[in-house]
Structure 1
Amino acid sequence: MATRTADHATTEKTATLYRMVMPEHICPFGLKARFLLRRKGYAVDDRWLKTRQQTDAFKAEWHVKTTPQAFIDGRRIGGYDDLRRHFGLTVREPGDTSYRPVIAVFVVALLMAGASLLAAGQPLVSPQLLSSFIAFAMCILAMLKLQDVESFSSMFLNYDLLARRFVLYAYLYPFAELLAGVLMLAGRLHAVAIPVALFIGSVGAVSVLKAVYIDRRELKCACVGGSSNVPLGFVSLTENLMMVAMALWMLAVASG
C-alpha cells in the first residue's frame, strides 16, 4: 500500500506557475493558466509575484516580456496562449476571422423568440417563431452597431453603395434597423416598419452582392459592429435578406 502511494506521488503531474497577484491587480490570464493546468490534471505550484519589483525582476531573469509564465518538468512553456498551444488548443490570433459573434447573435435571438412565444402561451412551431427571431436578431445586431457608431460607419462605408454617396446614412443605419426591429416585435406602425426594413435590407443586399460576388473584394462585415472580424459575404447578405423577407411577410399579413 505504501509502495502504491509512493508510486502515485512520483507519477503525479506537476507544474509551476508564476503570476501577478497584487493588492490592486490580479492577472486574469494567470487565473486562466492555473485553471487550465488543473483541468489538465496538473498539481500547480502557484507562485505569486506580489510587487511590481518582483515582477520586473522575474521578467529580467527569464528574459520574458509578460506574465504569467508556466513551467512543466522544469521547462518553461510560456504564457497563457503558449500553454494552450502546448496542450493542442486553439489560440485566436489578432486579425483572425470568426463567425462566432454572428452565431451567438442568431442563437440568442432564436432562444428569445422561443421564450417570448412560450410566455405568451403560443406554440413554438409556427410562423411567429421565425418572424420573432428575425426581429430579435435585428435588435441585437443594431445594439452591437450602436456600441460604437463611429467604428461601424467607417467599416460600413467600405462597401455600402448608398452610404458612399450619402455618408449620413452610415450613421443612421443602426437606428433604422433598431426602429424596424422594435416595431416588428411590437406589431405596431407597420407603415413605418415595413418600408424601413425593406429599404435598408434591399440596399444592403445589393451592396454585399456587388462587393463580394461581383467585385470579389475581401472585406470585414460591419453587421456585428465596427470591431468585428466577420468576413463580409454570406452572413451580411443573410442579415439583409432576412429584413427584406420580414418586411414582405408583414406586408402580406397586413394585406390579408
Structure 2
Amino acid sequence: MSNQNTTKTATLYRMVMTDHMCPYGLKSKDLLERNGFHVDDRHLTSRDEVDAFKVEHDVKTTPQIFIDGTRIGGFDDLSAHLGAPTKPKDATTYKPVIMLFSVAALMAVVVTWLSLGAVFSGQTLEWFISISMVLLGLQKLQDVERFATMFLNYDLLAQRWVRYGYIYPFVETGAGLLMMAGLLTWISAPAALFVASIGAVSVFKAVYIDKRELKCACVGGDSKVPLGFISLTENLMMVGMAIWMLSKL
C-alpha cells in the first residue's frame, strides 16, 4: 500500500493520429518515465479532439502534461519543472565542432588501420585534416544559401565578391577529397591555401581586431558556434596542410 501512495502519476495529453505522431509527446512520456512517473497516456486521435482539448484547457499547443492535477505545460515546461538545464535557442556552443573533429580523428585512425595496418602514422594527421575539410564542407553544402549569408558577416573576399560564399563549400570539400586520395595536389593544395588564408585573415580581423561577436559559418548556416579560436584553427589547419602537401611535390 505504501508503494502505491508514493507512486508519482502524471497525465499526458498528446497527438497520436494516423498521419502524425507528435515527437514532443513521445519525448515527454519518456522524460516522465525516466523520472519515476506512472504516465496516464491519453491520446488525441483527431484534429477535432485536439482543437476541443485546446479550447477546454485554454492552451495553444500539445502535448500538455498535468501532475497532481496541476497543468505543467509542454515538453520545455516539463523539462524545467523537473530541473533539467535549459539553454536559450540562440545560445552558443562548441559541441558541433567538437563532435565533427572527434569523428574525423576516429575516421583517420580507421583509414590508417585499413591502409597501413597501424593505429597511427605520419599520414594519420594528413587524413585527419583532409577528412575534417570534407566533413566541414558537407555541413556547408547542406544549405549553401544560408551558409553564404552567414559567411558575409565576416569573410573579407565574400564581402567584395558575394558569389565567393557559394563557391567556398565546393572548394573546401573538393580539396579535402583530393588530399585524402593524394590526387591532383597541384590543384587541391593551392585551392585550400587560398581559401584558408583568406579565412584566417578574415576571422582574425573580425574577432581580434574589430572585437565582433559573431556566429561561425564553419559548420553550416544555422551554426551556433561562436566565431573565434576554433574558426581560426580550422583555417590554419588547412593552411598547414596545403603547405605540407605542396612541399611534398
CA RMSD after TM alignment: 1.3
Corresponding residue for residue 24 of structure 2: 29
In the aligned structure 2, how far is the partner of 1:23 from the partner of 1:223? 40
What is the SS of the residue equivalent to 1:120? Answer: helix
Corresponding residue for residue 210 of structure 2: 215
Corresponding residue for residue 3 of structure 1: none
1:183-194 equivalences in 2 (<5 Å) = 183-194=178-189
Matching residue's letter, 2:158: A
Q: Which residues of structure 2 form unaligned runs of 5+?
A: none
- Number of equivalent positions: 249
Give the Å deviation of 1:216.
Answer: 0.7
Among candidates 236, 240, 244, match of residue 241 of structure 1:
236
Among candidates 71, 75, 78, match of residue 80 of structure 1:
75
Corresponding residue for residue 105 of structure 1: 100
TM-score by length of 2: 0.96
Give the Å deviation of 1:125.
Answer: 2.7
In the aligned structure 2, how far is the partner of 1:127 from the partner of 1:86? 52
Give the Å deviation of 1:122.
Answer: 3.3
In the aligned structure 2, how far is the partner of 1:126 from the partner of 1:94? 41
In the aligned structure 1, how far is the partner of 2:88 from the partner of 2:17? 28
Matching residue's letter, 1:28: P
Among candidates 162, 177, 196, match of residue 201 of structure 1:
196
Among candidates 125, 134, 150, match of residue 139 of structure 1:
134
Corresponding residue for residue 163 of structure 1: 158
In the aligned structure 1, how far is the partner of 2:123 from the partner of 2:116? 12
Corresponding residue for residue 231 of structure 1: 226
Q: Please tell me whether the aligned partners of residues 109 and 120 of structure 2 are also in contact (alpha carbons under 8 angstroms).
A: no
In the aligned structure 2, how far is the partner of 1:130 from the partner of 1:82? 45
TM-score by length of 1: 0.93
Give the Å deviation of 1:142.
Answer: 0.5
Query: CA deviation digits over 1:36-63, x for unaligned, max 9?
Result: 1111111100011111111112112222
- Structure 1 stretch displaced more, 172-181 or 101-110: 101-110
Q: Please tell me whether the aligned partners of residues 61 and 74 of structure 2 are also in contact (alpha carbons under 8 angstroms).
A: yes
Give the Å deviation of 1:159.
Answer: 0.7
Query: CA deviation digits over 1:47-81, x for unaligned, max 9?
Result: 11111111112112222111111111222111111
- Structure 1 stretch displaced more, 80-89 or 177-186: 80-89
What is the SS of the residue equivalent to 1:32? Answer: helix
What is the SS of the residue equivalent to 2:16? Answer: strand
Corresponding residue for residue 44 of structure 2: 49
Structure 1: 4+ residue segments shifted above 3 A:
none
